Amino acid sequence: MTKIVAVTNCPAGIAHTYMVAEAIEEKAKSLGYEVHVETQGASGVENKLTPEQISEADYVILAIGKGLTDHDKERFNQKKVVELPVSEALKHIDTLFDDLEGNAHVLSASKVKLGSDQEKVTEGVMSYLMAGVSAALPFVIGGGLLIAIGSMMVQFGMPNTPLGKGTSPSIAWIITSIGNLGFQFMIPIMGAYIAYAISDKPAFAPAFLVTFLANDNELLGTKSGAGFLGAIVIGLSVGYFVKYFKKLKLGKNFQSVLGYMIIPFVTLLVFGLLTYFLLGPAMAWLMSVMLTFLQNIPTSMKVLGGFIVGAMLAFDMGGPINKTAWFFSFSLLSSHVFNWYGIVGVVTLLPPMAAAIATWIKPSIFSKQERAASWSAFLVGMTVATEPAIPYALAAPLPMITANTLAGGITGALTIFLNVERTAPGIGIFDPLIGLESPWYWFYLCVAVGLALNVLFIITFKSHWLKKQAAKEAKAA
């Protein structure tokens, strides 16, 4: 039987709250549904929904005339919710139930469920990051698979002709370019949804645009975008900024345009300029300092250097630190030094593959969505890109980044110690087969050791971290 819970409220809390409650009850009963309606009227909350009723409900109807408290939103997190003004509910009561599935959206408020344990709920910053993870995963999956297909086509001999004057692009290039959009937009989508989870719609647009700016090296004039760590910083700061901005009282005439005009405009201006004039130069400075540092590593300390480069490559997966290590290794190719680029060939495979393997070995420490994305992360990770590891890192930054960085560092040291060389970018784990990476046996040994360590670290660190989070929560409750 379909089960429905609903909440009604209205400006005065005298009439519509109850009319709509009754209408919903009558209609639902006539359809043979089980229904519970909570009324939030002038005399307070009546028929308060119990957690059991909410968790059993297939759909939640929110017929709202004066908004919902954060607490209310939290109660319905991850439920299929149909939200509409109380007067609309009254007007369309006869058709309201026709397509609940189509009209419902899954509410993601500031709580999140980890793993298969539905009781385990985390509040606060982590839940905002999880909102970014859910939004970004489809981008990285869809985009990553397209890029993988495109690269395969090129490696199997199809032309890789870009769009140019007088030439039409090849299909492999087109597919790869479309796939790249997924990677490009994954970062701003993360920033936007992190901010959205904190303070709703007004924060969405400015966070999206500012994260896009921060991740676009051409606009910013830097050698790298800010990557997913930039998305976290911007998503959180825009989110909290807007949260307090919303409390501003502007008087009747301006209050109505605060949310969709004033907040997005001011936030975009302030954070856009901050990003351009502070974050951009700071990143450029950081990268040049790190690059100088890498270039001055004495040759006698090659293994230590390998550790540092490996750790940097795995640290922020496409962010400024990763890019610096990549530049350093890649630029040495022109002087026929191939062993540093060998580290890139090995270490960049590890984070996505290790995250995928960890979800298979210990599914309980990952969310359903993370588990579902594992195959695509594995395939894309072993062939073309590190990006599929980003959502996993975002979902639990501290343990995941620590695990990746440590495993990357150790593997980097091992790779340079065994003198694995890579001559050009290829298709990841198949590089030795097409002659780009050698000797093949040391390459595969390094990958195997790296993966084993990385998976072990992920499981150890993340389990420990989850336990600590749970303990913290139990203490707070």
Partner 1 sequence: MSIFEINHINMNLEGSTQKEIMESLADLAFNINIINDKSELVKDYLEREEESTTGFGNGVAIPHALSNNIKSATILFGRSSSDIEWDSLDGKPVNTFISLLVPDDQADEHLKLLAKLSRKLVHKDFVKILKNGSETEVFDAINNIVNN
Residues that bind partner 1 (CB under 8 A): 11-23, 26, 39, 41-44, 46, 65, 85-87, 90-91, 93
Q: How far is the CB of 70 from partner 1 (least distance, A)?
A: 22
Residue that is written with structure tokens 């028929």 in the block: 47
Closer of 64 and 195 to partner 1 (Cβ): 64
Token pair for 64: 């709202």
Phi and psi angles of residue 105, each rounded to the nearest 5 degrees, phi first: -125, 155
Q: For residues 313 and 411, what is the distance between their CA atoms, to the nearest angstrom?
A: 11
Nearer to partner 1, 15 or 361 (CB): 15
Q: Which is nearer to partner 1, 27 or 80 (CB)?
A: 27
- List all residues 6 or more positions away from 470 whose beta carbon is below 8 Å from its beta carbon: 120
Rounded to the nearest whole angstrom, what is the least distance from the CB of residue 66 to partner 1 in the complex? 9
- 421: which strand partners? 438
Pure H helices in 373-439: 374-383, 390-395, 397-417
Catalytic residue among 4, 5, 7, 10: 10
The amino acid present at 374, given as its one-letter code, is: S
To which H or E segment does residue 81 belong? strand 80-85
Q: How far is the CB of 68 from partner 1 (least distance, A)?
A: 17
| Shortest distance, position 30 Cβ to partner 1, whole Å | 12
Nearer residue to partner 1 within complex by CB, 20 or 231: 20
Helix, strand, or coil (residue 343): helix
Cβ atoms of 8 and 37 within 8 Å: the answer is yes
Say whether 446 is catalytic. Answer: no
* CA end-to-end distance (rounded Å), the chain: 34
Q: How far apart are CA 313 and CA 405, in angstroms?
A: 8
Closer residue to partner 1 in complex, CB, 44/164? 44
Q: Nearest CA to 231 among 239, 242, 223, 241?
A: 239
The SS3 assignment for 59 reads: strand
Q: At closest approach, how far in Å is the CB of 1 from partner 1?
A: 23
Peptide bond into 439 cis (omega under 30): yes
Give least dist CB 18 to partner 1, A.
Answer: 4
131 CB burial (10 A radius; 0-12, 13-18, 19+): buried
Q: Shortest approach of partner 1 to residue 260 CB, angstroms? A: 19
- Of 28 and 321, the one with the shorter C-beta distance to partner 1 is 28
Q: What is the DSSP string of 177-219?
A: HHHHHHHHHHHHHHHHHHHHHHH-HHHHHHHHHHHHHHH-HHH
Q: Which residues are registered as beta bridge partners of 61? A: 6, 82
Residue with smaller CB distance to partner 1, 18 or 465:
18
Alpha-carbon distance of 368 to 273, in angstroms, equals 38
Report the catalytic residues: 10
